[in-house]
Chains A and B, each alone.
Chain A
Amino acid sequence: MRRAHLDRLEAESIDIFREAAAESERPVLLYSIGKDSSVLLHLARKAFYPSLPPFPLLHVDTTWKFREMIVFRDATARNMGMELIVHRNPECVAAGINPFDHGSATHTDLWKTQGLRQAMEEHRFDLAFGGARRDEEASRAKERVFSFRNAGHRWDARHQRPELWRLYNARTGPGESIRVFPLSNWTELDVWYYIERERIPIVPLYFAAERPVVERDGVLIMVDDDRMPLDAGEEPQLRTVRFRTLGCYPLTGAVCSDATTVPEIIAEMRATTTSERHGRVIDHDRAGSMERKKQEGYF
C-alpha cells in the first residue's frame, strides 16, 4: 500500500533540512545511532542528493553504549562518506562517570547534556539537527521545529519563537544556537513504516535475538560487557529479546520479542500497549524530568 502521508512527511523533512542548511553557518547532525537517527540521516542524504549533506555527524558518546551501536556508527559514517565527530566529555572520562556509581540522572546529565554543550561550543556549531519527535513525550509536543537555544543552551518554553507556515527562523546571535527537529511530525509507527519502505539499515539490536540479560526492578538489562556489576548470585540469562530504543546499555530495557524483521516489528508495534520511552530509565527519575532536562540543554 502506498502511504501518501509518508510522502508528505518526507517532503516536509527535506524542506526543513534544506532551509536549515541554507540559513546556518556551521550546522551539524546529532547522530545517536538509533532508528530515528537512521531515518534522519536517510532524509538528509535525500535532501542534498547528489551532493553529500553539507554537515558532519556528531555522536556524543558516553562510553556506555551497546558495542553493536559503535560498530554500526563507524560503518555507517564510512559507507556514507560523511565526517564523524565523536565527543566524550573529558571530565566524565577522567572521573569515570557511570550509571552504577553515580546514578542514571547524573550519568546522563554529565555525559550527554554537558557533553553536547561542550561539543557545540568546541566546534562552534550554530545549528544541530536532532531526531526528536513531538509524539515522544508531553514536553516535546510544544517544541518548535526550529528550537532556539540561548547562549547558555537553554530552552525557554514560555518564550519560544512563533513558527508559522514553513517559514522557519534560523537566525542567531553570538553563542546562540538552533536545534532543528526534521522528524517533529512523525510518530514512532511512521518511522518504522518508513524504514520498511526505504529499506533503511538499523542497528541489529532492534531485532530479536538471544542475548544475555538480567532482570532489575522489572526491567530486562542486557549485560553487554564485563563492566556491569552483578549482584551476588545474579546470573545473566540467555533470552530472546530486542530493543525499542537504544541508549546506554545499563539504562535501556529490553522487551521479550520474536520479531526478527521490520514487518514483524511493525506487527508487534501495532499490538503493543506501552510507549517506547517506557523502557528508558532516565525518564522515570522524576515527574517532568524530560522538560527539566530540555531546559538545561538536553536534546
Chain B
Amino acid sequence: MTASTPAAARTRRQHHTDELRFLTCGSVDDGKSTLIGRLLYESKLLPSDHLAALEADSRRAGTRGGELDFALLVDGLAAEREQGITIDVAYRFFATERRRFVVADTPGHEQYTRNMVTGASNAEAAVVLLDARTGVLTQTRRHARLLALLGIRHVALAVNKLDLVGYSRSVFEKISGQFREFAAGIGLDDVTCIPTSAVHGDNVTARSDATPWYGGPTLLGWLESVEPAAASGGPARFLVQWVNRPEPGFRGYSGQVVRGRLRRGDRVRVAPGNIEATVGRIVTMDGDLDEATRGMATTVMLDDDVDVSRGDVLAAAGDPVDTATAFQAHLVWLDEREMLPGRQYLAKLGASTVGLTVETPKYRVDVDSGNHLPARTLRRDEIAVANVHLDTEVAYEPYRTASELGSFIVLDRLGNATAGAGMIDFALRRSATVRWQSVTVDKNARSARNGHRPCVVWFTGLSGAGKSTIADLVEKALHAQGRHTFLLDGDNVRHGLNKDLGFTDADRVENIRRIGEVAALMVDAGLIVLASFISPFRQERALARGLVEPGEFCEVHVDAPLEHVERRDPKGLYARARRGELANFTGIDSPYEPPERPEIRLDTTALTAEQAAEEVLARLRETGVLRGS
C-alpha cells in the first residue's frame, strides 16, 4: 500500500505528544453528538468502513435529508439507536498533530448528575454546549455547578446553532456575558466562549467566514491549547498499592506518585503511623530511577526495616500528610437505593477500603438553583454536604488540594454497588480526642461471676408475628434459672431513648443503630439481652451483630406470613395501615428483608409461643451461653 496525499496529511497529524481528557455536556437538542461526530470526522481519522457505515446509516435514519448525520457516529448501542437516546458515559478518541484527545460524552437528560460527575472525575477540561436560540438555561447552570464541584478548571462554552440566529454577534455576546458572570460567581474563572454551528462546522475545527467579528480560538484550537493540571507541584505523596516480595531479600512497595516528586535518598513518613524511613531505590522494569514524578507507577524500596501495607501513603517527611477518621465531605449519590444516615457502607479512598457511615446531611445542594435544602436521606442524583465517619484512620488530603487523596467512592456492603462518590472538604478532629476508656473489671470477669456468657438474642419479624410474646417467655424462664437478663422491646424503646424517631427508612436505621449500641453495652455488663424489634433491614441487623463479638449474637427470625399476621392483627395496626392511617408500615408500604441465615427460624404458624421459646432456650444451652443448667 502506498502513501497517498490524504494519508500524508494524516501522517502529519499523528505526531502528537501529549494528551487531554475532556468532557462534553449539553443535551442532544443542543447538537452535542453532532459536534463530537464532527470533531472525529474533521480530524480525518475516521476509517473508511466507519464512514461508509455512517453514510448508510444517515440515509436510513433520514434525519439530515441525505447529508451526513454525525450524531450517528456517537450514539453507539443498538438500544440507544432504537430509542433515540444516549445511555451513560461513552469515551471517544481522536488526535491532531499536537495532541491526543479522550472525550467523555455524557447525556444531558437522564441521570445527568450521576453521568456528568462520572465523566468529569477524570477530565481536565470541559465543553459546555447550549443552543443559541434558548441561551443560558437551568440546565447550563446545572452543568457549570457540577464542573465547579468536581474542580474542572478549564471550560469552553460552545454557543451552538448560531446559524439559526443568523450568526448574530449580539446574541452571542449576550449569552457569553450571562454565562461568564454566572461562572465567575461559582468559581469557574477560566471560561472561553466560542460561537459554533456543529451542523455546518463553523468554528469547530476551522474559522468561520460567517463570524468575522469573532477573534477567539476555534473549539479545536482551544482544546489544543488548554494546559492540563500542573505536573509535579506540592510535597511528595506515594500511594502504596501492592507489597512486592519476589524473594526474601527484596521488599518493595508498588504504587503511584500521586503528588509532587519522590527522589532517591528522600526522607519519607509512612501514613497512617509515625514512622520515618529513607527511599533506597526506585525500581522499574526498565532500570532504577533517581526520581519519580506525579503520575508515575514505580516500586519503592525503603532503607529502613519498616512495616508498610497497601493503602499507606509515603509522604515527604518535612511536609507529612494528615490522617483522620472523620470528615466533612460533598457526597453525590449514585445508587437507586437511597443513602440512609447511620447505615454501614464501605469507602474506597486511595488504595484503602474501610467501613463508612454518613451522618444526617447538613444540607442538600439543589444543582439547578444552588440553594441549600434540608435533607434527611439522599436519593440518586442528589448532592449533599455531610459528616462521614470511617472505622479506620486513613491518610487524606482535601479534594481541592489533591483529588487523588481527597476523593472516595461509597460501596454498598450487600450488593457491592458503587453507591456514591465523595469529595473531602476537611477533617473533623473531635473523634480523635475521644479515647476509649479501658477498665479492669471486664466482660470475662462478669461472665465468670454470673455463671453464663453474655449475648444478644435478636428477635426479628413482622409486626404481630409473636416476637414480644416469645421474648417475654424466654426471659421469664431465664430469670427463673437465676440468669441476668434484660428485654429491649420496640414499643418501650420508642417511648424514651428513641422517641425522636419516626418510621421512615432513615429513622428505622438510626433506631436500630442506637438499640444495637445499647445492647452491646449490656453485653459488656454481662447480661443476656433479649431484643425484640421488627428491624426490617438486613444491613442494620448485620450492624447490630457487628457490635458484639462473634458468637455473642443469636438472630431469631420469628416467621409468619403477612396474610397470617394481618388476619391476627392483635393491635389493629394492619387494618389502620390498610386504611392509610399509618405510613411506612412494614409489610404494607415498607419492605421487610427476611434473614438469609438466622441462627434460629421459628414458624409461628406451626409452633405455639411456648414451643418457640423452648427452641430458643435449647439453642442457648447448645451453644454454651447457659452453663450448668
Contact = CB atoms under 8 A, between A and B. Distances in A.
Contact of A8 (B19, B49, B299, B408): B19
Contact of A271 (B11, B283, B404, B421): B11
Contact of B88 (A5, A49, A134, A142): A142
Interface stretch (A24-32, A161-169, A219-227): A161-169
A258 B1 CA distance: 7
Contacts of A291: 77-79
Contacts of B65: none
A102 interface: no
A79 interface: no
A268 interface: yes
B16 interface: yes
Q: Is the interface of B mostly helix, strand, loop or mixed?
A: mixed
A68 B252 CA distance: 38
A149 B95 CA distance: 32
B89 A271 contact: no
Contacts of A118: none
Interface residues of A, number: 67
Contact of A11 (B17, B89, B295): B295
Interface in A103-157: 134-135, 138-139, 141-142, 157
Given A134-B93, A157-B79, A169 B1 contact: no
A18 B256 CA distance: 10
A93 interface: no
Interface stretch (B217-225, B237-245, B390-398, B578-586): B237-245
A228 interface: no
B407 A165 contact: yes
B411 A165 contact: no
A167 B407 contact: yes
Nearest to A51: B246
A171 B416 contact: yes
A171 B417 CA distance: 8
Contacts of B3: 267, 271
Given A5-B19, A139-B76, A291-B78, A18 B255 contact: yes
B50 A275 contact: yes
A49 B284 contact: yes
A271 B1 contact: yes
Contacts of A141: 76, 90-92
Contacts of A184: 91
A44 to B, nearest CB: 11
Interface string B225-261: 0000000000000000110111000101011100000
Interface of A: 1-5, 7-11, 14-15, 18-19, 21-23, 45-52, 134-135, 138-139, 141-142, 157-158, 160-167, 169, 171-173, 184-185, 187, 189-190, 255-258, 267-268, 270-275, 278, 287-288, 291-292
Interface of B: 1-4, 7, 10-11, 14-19, 47-50, 76-79, 87-93, 95, 100, 102, 114-115, 117-118, 121-122, 241-242, 244-246, 250, 252, 254-256, 283-286, 295-297, 299, 310, 334, 348-349, 351, 353, 403-404, 407-409, 411, 415-418, 421
30 contacts: A4-B17, A5-B18, A11-B296, A47-B254, A49-B285, A50-B246, A50-B252, A50-B299, A51-B244, A141-B91, A158-B87, A158-B88, A161-B418, A162-B117, A162-B334, A162-B418, A163-B118, A164-B407, A164-B409, A167-B348, A167-B408, A169-B348, A173-B415, A185-B93, A190-B100, A270-B14, A274-B49, A278-B47, A288-B78, A291-B79
